[in-house]
């Protein structure tokens, strides 16, 4: 049985660790509460799952996603989606031990007056994973899960970039006019 002194020490250590964790800025992924830019409509030109992820992200922020660029305040163009995989480590018998995955897209944001709010820019994310030659099924499942996580990460990067760029664009227009 633990003594009273040991219990107090354990609780003090736990309290200190909790305070350290909270003070370092730790937060769970996807829980950022950034201020949302002041706009109502956006058109997204993208394909497949990236379009669905971006649409859901804007809708969660109470932004209407329009079907035509002319009906929107801003138009987001996501193109050139690229996926790559390269070996980054090998075993002693020259078989692959680790792969690096890279997903990248080109992003461009236009205001409805055709001003480039975000000039064409590459947004990318990368991950690496250990490859097990003896267990190909689990390695391919891990790669599929990583690619899905990477798509979500890319969409979140794009949403944050669009949000801050629109805010900056609107602030610069207010400074010019006022």
Query: Which is higher by pLDDT, 53 or 28?
Result: 53
pLDDT at 63 over 90: yes
The band of 135, judged by pLDDT with boundaries at 50, 70 and 90, is: confident
**CATH number, domain 37-177, options 1.10.287.110, 3.30.160.40, 1.20.120.140, 3.30.160.150:** 3.30.160.150
Say what the pLDDT of residue 175 is. 82
Which pTM does this prediction carry?
0.76
Nearest C-alpha neighbor of 109 from the set 66, 153, 166: 166
Please report which helix (H) or strand (E) contains residue 84, including its range. strand 74-90
Cα 152 from Cα 68, distance rounded (Å): 24
The band of 50, judged by pLDDT with boundaries at 50, 70 and 90, is: very high
**Per-range mean pLDDT, top range of 87-91, 133-137, 159-163:** 159-163
Neighbours of 111 (CB within 10 A): 17
- Tell me the C-alpha to C-alpha distance, in Å, between residue 15 and each of 11, 50, 167: 6, 42, 39
For the segment 80-96, what is each residue's pLDDT rounded down to a tens digit?
999 999 999 988 888 88
Dig out the tokens for 107 from the structure.
């992003």
Neighbours of 34 (CB within 10 A): 11
pLDDT at 169 over 60: yes
The band of 8, judged by pLDDT with boundaries at 50, 70 and 90, is: confident
Query: Which is higher by pLDDT, 80 or 7?
Result: 80
């Amino acid at each position: 049985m633990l003594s009273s002194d040991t219990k107090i020490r354990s609780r003090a250590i736990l309290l200190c660790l909790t305070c350290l964790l909270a003070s370092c800025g730790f937060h769970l992924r996807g829980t950022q509460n950034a201020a949302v830019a002041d706009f109502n409509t956006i058109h997204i030109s993208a394909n497949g799952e990236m379009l669905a992820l971006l649409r859901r992200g804007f809708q969660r922020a109470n932004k209407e996603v329009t079907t035509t660029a002319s009906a929107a305040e801003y138009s987001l163009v996501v193109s050139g989606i690229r996926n790559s995989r390269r070996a980054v480590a090998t075993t002693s018998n020259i078989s692959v031990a680790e792969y690096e995955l890279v997903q990248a897209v080109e992003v461009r944001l236009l205001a409805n007056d055709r001003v480039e709010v975000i000039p064409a820019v590459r947004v990318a994310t990368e991950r690496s994973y250990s490859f097990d030659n003896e267990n190909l099924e689990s390695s391919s499942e891990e790669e599929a899960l990583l690619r899905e996580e990477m798509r979500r990460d890319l969409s979140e990067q794009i949403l944050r970039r669009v949000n801050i760029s629109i805010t900056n664009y609107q602030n610069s227009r207010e400074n010019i006019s006022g």
